[in-house]
Structure 1
Amino acid sequence: MTEQQHGYWRASDGSAVSAGQAHIVWTRAAYPALVEVARRYHAVITYADLAEAVQEASGVRTRVNQRHWIGKVLSLVIREAHRRGDPPLTALVVHATDGKVGPGYQEVLAVAGQPPVAAEMDREQHAAAARLACYRHFGADLPADGGTPALAP
């Protein structure tokens, strides 16, 4: 079987890419994509849309369902944002079905040295506050009152 049927490959020439290489390349594409989202007040991006965006931007593709790899990419984004002193950009990534962050968001807390939150609504409130921090940090056009955290509808 070819790499294109089951693995990861460069769209430009079809050459194989390891999963680990793909995750790194996609993280490099995800960071600026998420910064662009953060520049629009109350904007979010779905996991699926981010997965497609990073593949398009990087030229590295896969047929593997994003549920099996997007968490690895977001984990790297969490660490990079923490290293840079940026707010957690992964708070901007939500499920299309309910507009909420996934359970993997707990890693944001762990990397920041904070205790995990057990209740889903507590996690959502933390993510909403983190999104507002992203909008403020990356220069979104905020309302006169400075903006408010937005929970999923």
Structure 2
Amino acid sequence: MSAEEAWNIWAPHAYDLLVEVAARYHAVITYGEVGKEVQDRSRVRTSALLQNWIGAVLGRVVRRAHRQDHPALTALVVHKDDGKVGVGYAEVLQVAGQQPVEDEMERERHAASARLDCYRYFEASGLPADGGKPALAPRLEQAVRRQRATVPQPRPTCARCGIQLPVSGACDYCD
């Protein structure tokens, strides 16, 4: 079987799988999980490295979702190690006629919004009555929180002289 034939077999399975993921509010799935599941469901296996074929399969999902006027289901697929969408997410924007998003965190915010569209469209269980909020993938959200916690907060300054205040909070020069 050719790679193209395998991709065409796997794509509908990937689509169905992503619709299932979209049915759970704030759920995401990793590229590896998608790869394993489409092979299990189709019983068509490959020994090729995931990164050499998953993009072709998800590209088919992007185009199908666009043709059916469904939200960008591939926004639900993230990397296991960092919780980010892959560079292939650019295809979602391209197919929709939108400009590419170069900034990584801006791309992640776009994907979070696209995921929320998926949860709403497919009426996800656990979706709040207010329609929910976009959210970064859990692993990425944890990394962002850790990073924020390690950024030192600026210390207060004296209102009169502008010098940074000591821990006591009283200016050594003005008080």
Q: Considering the TM-score relative to the shorter chain, is it more than 0.5?
A: yes
Aligned counterpart for 2:42 among listed residues 52, 55, 58: 58
Question: Which structure ranks higher in relative contact order (CA pairs < 8 Å, sequence separation ≥ 6)?
Answer: 1
TM-score norm. by structure 1 comes to: 0.88
- Superposition deviation, residue 46 in structure 1: 0.1
Matches within 5 A, 1:47-126: 47-126=31-110
Residue 137 of structure 1 pairs with residue 96 of structure 2? no
Gaps of 5+ in 1: 1-16
Aligned to 1:148: 133
- Superposition deviation, residue 144 in structure 1: 2.2
Count, aligned residues: 137
Greater radius of gyration (CA): 2
SS of the residue corresponding to residue 61 of structure 1 reads: coil
Aligned counterpart for 1:29 among listed residues 13, 22, 30: 13
TM-superposition CA deviations, 1:69-109 (whole Å, max 9, x none) = 00000111000000000000000000000111011101100
Identity %: 61
Gaps of 5+ in 2: 142-175
Structure holding more strand per residue:
1
Q: How far apart are the structure 1 equivalents of 2:42 and 2:12?
A: 8
- Superposition deviation, residue 139 in structure 1: 1.1
Aligned counterpart for 1:40 among listed residues 12, 24, 35: 24
Q: 2:130 is matched by which residue type in structure 1?
A: D
